[in-house]
Amino acid sequence: MAIKGAIVFDVEHCKGCGVCIPTCPNQVIAFSKNVNNKGYNYAEAVNDNCIGCTSCAMVCPDGVITVYKVKL
Amino acid sequence: MFNPDIIKPENLVYKRTSVLTDNVMHYCPGCGHGTIHRLIAEVIEEMGIQEKAICVAPVGCSVLAYNYFDVDSQGAAHGRAPAIATAIQRLYPDNHTFTYQGDGDLAAIGTAETIHACNRGENIVMIFVNNGIYGMTGGQMAPTTLIGMKTATSPYGRDVALNGHPLKITELLADLPGTYYVTRQSVQNAASVRKAKKAIRQAFENQKAKKGTSFVEVVSNCNSGWKMTPVAANKWMEENMFPFYPLGDMKVDGQKVSK
Ligand SMILES: Cc1ncc(C[n+]2csc(CCOP(=O)(O)OP(=O)(O)O)c2C)c(N)n1
Ligand code: SF4
Ligand code: SF4
Ligand code: SF4
Ligand SMILES: [Mg+2]
């Protein structure tokens, strides 16, 4: 049984603090080269290795990350 | 994003709680205040007490907490949140009044209110955010500042001979007969966030059962005041704050936890 996850960022709420990045067991998250309207390099998913563990969402101070998960 | 076919309501495992407003919080990037707000709001949502929750906001960085919690709120003069919360909870004994205070607010100017509310055993939830500094006013030394820690008013590091000892107010409160639950938590990684949320839930459950004062300290970062990146600040906190402010329960069900 495989577990697959997906994360969605509320880009305008992201402050580019980077706290979510080292939390991810699968190195899914990195800073974007682009900035949001506040000028922050926001966080984004850079591969499809997400397992929906919610660790990134747990540590995000701004409640930016929504997490989805399926068992295949 | 990626895996877009997974993004369906039935697969949702985590989303921002509706007990937080949509306002972007004014806190510095990576500040623990945001995470702690989120946990309190999630507990309020999960217990179904949004209509009964009353936030008493402090003076400090979290002075605008009422812009973020979608619950009734009252601002308090600096350090006086436990006194205000005492009055509110006595008038509305079936509501859920909670205070939210920093270390300057709770353990410096508000020491008297803190100690007496806890000693009276007021049926309130007290959330204490200890970042070892006065964040809001530009990073001055707090009662909780560690020995040797540099701040705007201890530029060579806190010196006991000059500045006295850091105050472990939470240990002190655990010794008072009025406190029913006293714990110290943190929110720098996913495991600690989950534990801190359980502790906050326990505090509100105690209040529901009218057990007296539940006090939750959260050791947190002030990355701006500490002059570090958020990730470095969390690491510094683990290495320097936790040895002096050890995490865990100090008092459960009115009984001191023996270490
Ligand atoms: C009567 C009074 N004295 C001093 C101040 C200045 N002041 C504002 S916030 C603060 C301390 C905030 O520190 P803390 O409670 O630790 O909150 P943080 O910002 O670190 O979360 C001080 C001294 C004030 N607003 N009112
Ligand atoms: S949910 Fe887990 S696996 Fe997915 S991005 Fe977040 S931390 Fe990584
Ligand atoms: S923790 Fe939240 S605010 Fe910080 S970079 Fe990640 S998504 Fe953005
Ligand atoms: S000054 Fe410190 S406590 Fe205040 S918002 Fe910034 S990081 Fe947080
Ligand atoms: Mg402080």
When scoring B6, B12, B129, B185 by the number of chain A Cβ atoms within 10 A, the one with the most, hence best to mutate, is B6
Please state the pTM of the whole predicted model. 0.98
**What integer pLDDT is reported at residue B151 of this predicted model?**
98
- Which pLDDT does position B120 carry in this prediction? 98
Q: Which CATH class is domain B9-256?
A: alpha beta
**Domain spans in chain B, listed from the N-terminal domain onward:** 9-256
Residues lower than pLDDT 70 in chain B: 1
Q: Closest ligand 2 atom, CA of A51?
A: 3
Domains and their CATH numbers in chain A? 3-71 (3.30.70.20)
d(CA B51, CA B45): 10
Residue A9: list chain B partners with CB under 8 A: 1
pLDDT at residue B1, rounded to an integer: 59
Query: If DSSP codes are grouped into helix, strand and coil, which group holds residue B57?
Result: strand
User: Which atom of ligand 2 lies nearest, measured to the CA of B190?
Assistant: 7
End-to-end CA distance of chain B: 45
A1 to chain B, minimum CA–CA distance in Å? Answer: 16
How much is the pLDDT for A4?
95
Spell out a b/e string for B232-253, using b for 16 or more CB atoms within 10 Å of the CB, else e. ebbeebbeebeeebebebbbee
Q: What average pLDDT values come out for chain A (72 residues) when binned by 10 residues?
A: 94 98 98 97 97 98 98 88
Q: What is the pLDDT of residue A17?
A: 98
Residue among B4, B34, B229 whose CB faces A61 most closely: B34
Q: Which of B94, B62, B54 is nearest to B78 (CA)?
A: B62
Residue B203 to residues B6, B79, B98, B216, Cα–Cα distance (Å): 36, 21, 10, 8
Interchain contact, A70 vs B11, CB within 8 Å: yes
Structure confidence at residue B3 (pLDDT): 79
What pLDDT sits at residue B193? 98
Chain B residues within 8 Å of chain A (Cβ atoms) = 1-4, 6-8, 11-17, 20, 24-25, 27-35, 38, 187-190, 193-194, 229-231, 234
Closest residue by Cα to atom 20, ligand 1, is B135
Strands B125-130 and B213-219: parallel
